Amino acid sequence: MKTALITGANKSIGFEMARILAKQGYFVYIGSRDLNRGQQAVDQLKADGLTTLEAVQLDVTDKASITAAQQYINQKDGKLDVLVNNAGIPGAFPQLAESVDVAVIREVYNTNFFGVIEVTQAFLPLIRKSEAGVIVNVTSGLGSLTLHSDPSWPYYNVKSAAYGTSKTALNAYTVVLAHELRETPIRVNAVDPGYTATDFNQHSGPLKVEDSAAFVAQYAVIGPDGPTGKFFSHDRQAEGNESPW
């Protein structure tokens, strides 16, 4: 059975991704900063008839937590087939470049950027043991410098010095990691679920959680012949879902 770890999976898009992958036959570890909330998510999915799930305490900003989760999954399975770096925070708004508190930027980057790097580095030895490992970095269209430079883009005026730039940094890390792993069967992509109605944005997005989760999930189940080093966005269906950096 293939295994998957989704960080920040006790609710919203991560939770629905866990449902999708479990239905497709994966054993899914629901990474949650609060283990009780993670267990509640597992219980809910099991009540729906899904059984191949387990909650794992995982705070992406806590090195000891990351290490403990890695050791547990290593002892239990010895490998990991899919890592979805889904955990993220928006940070306090507004985030004006000329006045944002640097502490806010550090807080956002600790989760959205540095946390992804530490989780990825910790689990990469297990992913290397998979026949066709996959890493999905959940990003945002707000991380695209090309789109931010296009006045015709619908979200052109949505600038944020902490959240948006953290996703730009994440995209850059994705490119570097994919390049380093280009001679392996591991696929690495940045995937944007799009402007989705979640508590992340006070449910203001036009896209449904279930649809956005399905969009991200399709890149979690690709094989070794799938794309790598790409940036896909749910908001750009007319462009074949590929987004400019």
Average pLDDT of 89-108?
97
Q: What pLDDT, on a 0 to 100 scale, did the predictor assign at position 178?
A: 98
Please report the pLDDT score of residue 237 as a whole number.
Answer: 84
What would the mean pLDDT of 125-142 be, rounded to a whole number?
Answer: 98
DSSP sequence for 212-238: HHHHHHTTTS--TTS--S-EEETT-GG
pLDDT at residue 90 tops 90: yes
Query: Given CA atoms 160, 163, 169, 171 in this order, what sign does their dihedral have?
Result: negative
Treating both helix axes as pointing N-terminal to C-terminal, what angle do 163-180 and 102-109 enclose, rounded to 10 degrees? 40
| DSSP secondary structure of 49-83 | T--SEEEEE--TT-HHHHHHHHHHHHHHHS--SEE
pLDDT for the residue 122:
98
Most distant pair of Cα atoms in the chain: their distance: 51
CA distance 237 to 244: 13
Helical pair 115-127 and 63-77, crossing angle rounded to 10 deg: 20
Tell me which residue of 84, 53, 121 sits closest to 219, measured CA to CA. 84
Please state, as a whole number, how many other Cβ atoms lie within 10 Å of the Cβ of residue 160. Answer: 22
- The reported pLDDT for the residue numbered 196 is 85
Q: Which CATH class is domain 3-239?
A: alpha beta
Per-residue confidence at 203, pLDDT binned at 50, 70, 90? low
Q: Residue 178: how many CB atoms within 10 A of its CB?
A: 20
Query: Is it the case that residue 22 has pLDDT exceeding 70?
Result: yes
Mean pLDDT of 155-164: 97
Q: Is the peptide bond before 151 cis (omega within 30 degrees of 0)?
A: no
Q: What is the dihedral of CA 56, 188, 67, 13, to 10 degrees?
A: -30
Share of the chain above pLDDT 90, in %: 93
Q: Tens digit of pLDDT for each residue in 53-76?
A: 999 999 999 999 999 999 999 999
Q: Give the active site residues.
A: 163, 167
